[in-house]
Amino acid sequence: MQSVLLHKSLLGNLIKALQSDYEVFGPTKKGLSYVWDKVHSLYEITLNYDCTILPPKKFVLPGRETMFNFTNGKITSIASDTNKKQVLFGIHACDLKAFSYLDKIYMGQATDPRYEERRQNLVLIAYSCIKPCDNGFCHSMGSGAHAHSGFDLQLTDLGERYIVEIGSEAGQKIIKLVETEPVSMEDREQLAHLCTESTAQFKKHVNTENLTKILFDNINHKVWDKIGEQCLACGQCALVCPTCFCFDIRDKVDLTLKSGERYRTWDVCLLKEFSEIALGENFRSKRKDRLRQFQCHNLAWSAEQFGSPKCVGCGRCIKVCPVHIDITETVSEIREKG
């Protein structure tokens, strides 16, 4: 993979140059947390962040989007806001890998054209996590803290300069917008050292060896009763998950019942209504069953379907849980007590 060096003083110039063709979004401070927001200069971006409140999947799969409007039973307009050219500047390796999983869902056996167009117009400029976040375990899930693919460009802080890895033709064109320098063997060695050092700093871990089988064999483990009692079924863990892809389609009609809109909105398996079917029957009426579905789907069932776990180890589900349920602790308890 080709790499170059970019002096830190030129990073702002790169962001300005991007704005001639793209809307640029980056991690920005919001209270004690971080969000993805539109930026116009380097000074608005916080590159040394832990993780954003919502994952960047919202750029290809909005939380709520109008599909079309209708009047008297006829479609009057179809929403077409999917052709915007956007850059995500500073995305972490875990969120980067989440896009590769979502691509399998929405551009795999069947293609969602709205997702596909947004995805094709999205440029991903990654930023290596030299200091892991407190709740992250992305190294266990093979998604961090340094990405090896899936990006257009990836920046790693070497002090006064960034080593910039080029991962696509789009990245090749973008890096030509600023002056760069060649990479030395010493720079590459420093990069390798930083990655090794970063891995050693993780506080949370998941042993993934034979994990799918272990979870299948422990469907009725007592840990599900314990955390099921704790769980509030608020759905926050799934709402902030960067790979959760479920949605609902609803119609909103005005008081005359003549016009309205059809829209798509995120839906999550932690909510009781999610698994409710005709005549009110519900095959996951208990909270423990819905929580088990969420955690096991992320760690195991998805691997059966797509060959790799759905979980990328970002730790958002741990961070937002109001009763402190920790998916890494669930795995540890099942392994320890069988």
| Reported confidence tier of residue 127, pLDDT bands at 50, 70, 90 | very high
Torsions phi, psi for 135 (to 5 deg):
-100, 0
User: Is residue 283 a contact partner of residue 275, using CB atoms and an 8 Å limit?
Assistant: yes
Summarised one tens digit per residue, pLDDT across range 131-164 is 889 999 999 999 988 999 999 999 999 999 999 9
Give residue 1's pLDDT.
82
195 and 215 part of one domain: no
Answer yes or no: do 117 and 60 share one domain: yes
Indicate if 78 and 113 belong to the same structural domain: yes
Mean pLDDT for the chain? 94
Given 199, 234, 251, which residue is the final one in a domain? 199
Report pLDDT digits (tens) over 198-238: 888 999 999 999 999 999 999 999 999 999 999 999 999 99
- Of the residues 199, 220, 242, the one at which a domain ends: 199
Judgement on whether residues 314 and 276 belong to the same structural domain of the protein? yes
For residue 213, give every residue at least 6 positions away whose Cβ sits within 8 Å of its Cβ, in sequence order, or none. Answer: none
31 and 87, same domain (yes or no): yes
Q: Which amino acid is at 248?
A: D
Assigned domain for 206 exists = no
205, part of any domain: no
The mean per-residue pLDDT over the stretch 321-334 comes to 97
State the residue range of the domain holding 162: 3-199
Q: What is the pLDDT of residues 159-193, one digit of tens each?
A: 999 999 999 999 999 999 999 999 999 999 999 99
254, 284, 280, 279: which is closest to 268 by C-alpha? 284
Fill in the amino acid letter for 201.
Q
Domain count, the chain: 2
Banded pLDDT at 82 (limits 50, 70, 90): confident
pTM exceeding the 0.85 threshold for the entire prediction: yes
Residue 204 lies in a domain: no
User: Which residue's structure tokens are 């892991």?
Assistant: 132
User: 338 falls in which pLDDT band (50, 70, 90)?
Assistant: low
Residue 331 pLDDT class (50, 70, 90 cuts): very high
**Which is higher by pLDDT, 82 or 189?**
189
